[in-house]
Amino acid sequence: QVQLVESGGGVVQPGTSLRLSCVASGFTVTDYAIHWVRQAPGKGLEWVAIIWYEGSNKYYADSVKGRFTLSRDNSKNTLYLQMNSLRAEDTAMYYCARAFSGSSGFDRWGQGTLVTVSS
Amino acid sequence: DIQMTQSPSSLSASVGDRVTITCRASESINNHLNWYQQKPGKAPELLIFAVSSLQSGVPSRFSGGGSGTDFTLTISSLQPEDFATYYCQQTYSTPYTFGQGTMLEIK
């Protein structure tokens, strides 16, 4: 069964760091592009980042560029989103989602993990 | 960045109605246009990809159309489970922007 499960969210203070995980099952992450999408409370969807199949090409939204970093552990079929210098505006539910190609729709999503940045 | 603008932002309709949601891109995105449905407290679900291709398992009352910069999502006969928020998204170029969403409510 194809599944994505995020974890690692929590309540943190501004300026601190957090690492989110996205564990994939039922498929191999190296066969798909994996995206991160976030949704602030009561707001719409915001695309955050993509890591492509080969793992070396990554792109980030301007709002997180230089602060967030994607990585992948192929042996664990797991993706990571390292979030540094967190700001209040990073507060959101974070979803990972897969796409067959970089430009195709996101056909499977995780349930999300909530990140709250507050002093 | 490509801006995606949906209209309307909210819509009230009744079971059995035909509804259409519009999405406009700030520049041509070829056929790289997807539609998602999101229910409260849940992750989004892909309904339509590449403008008009129905995702597996999605009922045939959902359909997509358009080209270039203007696209539509049509629900031919609303069912109770269709009341949700709908988002369009372009995957033509990064950042893969979403529309602001259209909340479909029961009249």
Residue in A45, A50, A104 closest to B94 by CB = A50
Using beta carbons and an 8 Å cutoff, which residues of A are at the interface with B?
35, 37, 44-47, 50, 59, 61-62, 95, 97, 99, 102-107, 109-112
Residue B44: closest CA among chain A residues belongs to which residue? A109
- pLDDT above 80 for B98: yes
- Any A CB within 8 A of B101 CB: yes
Q: What is the pLDDT of residues A43-72, one digit of tens each?
A: 999 999 999 988 889 999 999 999 999 999
Bridge-partner residues for B25, per DSSP? B4
From residue A95, how far is each of A8, A45, A49, A112, B94 by CA, in Å? 12, 10, 11, 4, 17
**Whether residue B51 has pLDDT greater than 70:** yes
C-alpha span between A7 and A16 (Å, rounded): 17
Q: Which residues of A touch B87 (CB under 8 A)?
A: 44-45
Whole-number Å distance between alpha carbons of B104 and B94: 28
pLDDT at position A55: 82
User: What are phi and psi for residue A49, nearest 5 degrees?
Assistant: -165, 160
Asked if residue B2 has pLDDT above 90, the reply is yes
Q: What is the model's pLDDT at position B95?
A: 96
Task: Write the pLDDT tens digit of every residue in A1-45.
Answer: 999 999 999 999 999 999 999 999 999 999 999 999 999 999 999
Residue of chain B nearest A38, judged by CA positions: B43
Is residue A101 predicted with pLDDT exceeding 90?
no
Is the torsion defined by CA of A72, A105, B55, A110 positive or negative? Answer: positive
Question: What are the phi and psi torsion angles at A93 (to 5°)?
Answer: -85, 130
Judging by beta carbons within 10 Å of its beta carbon (0-12, 13-18, 19+), is residue A82 exposed, middle or buried? middle
Query: Residue B103: its chain A contacts at CB < 8 A?
Result: none
Cβ neighbours for B76, distance < 8 A, ≥ 6 positions apart: B18, B61, B62, B63
Q: Is the dihedral of CA B5, B7, B11, B15 positive or negative?
A: negative
Averaged pLDDT, B1-14 = 97
pLDDT for the residue A102? 64
Residues of A in contact with B49 (CB under 8 A): 104-105, 107
**pLDDT above 80: residue B27:** yes
Asked if A44 lies within 8 A of B87 by C-beta distance, the reply is yes
Question: Between A103, A104, A109, which is nearest B44 by CB?
Answer: A109
Which of A12, A36, A87, A23 is closest to B43 using CA atoms? A36
Q: How many CA atoms lie within 13 A of A119 on its CB side?
A: 4
Cα-Cα-Cα-Cα dihedral sign, residues A62, A65, A67, A68: positive
A69-76: average pLDDT = 96
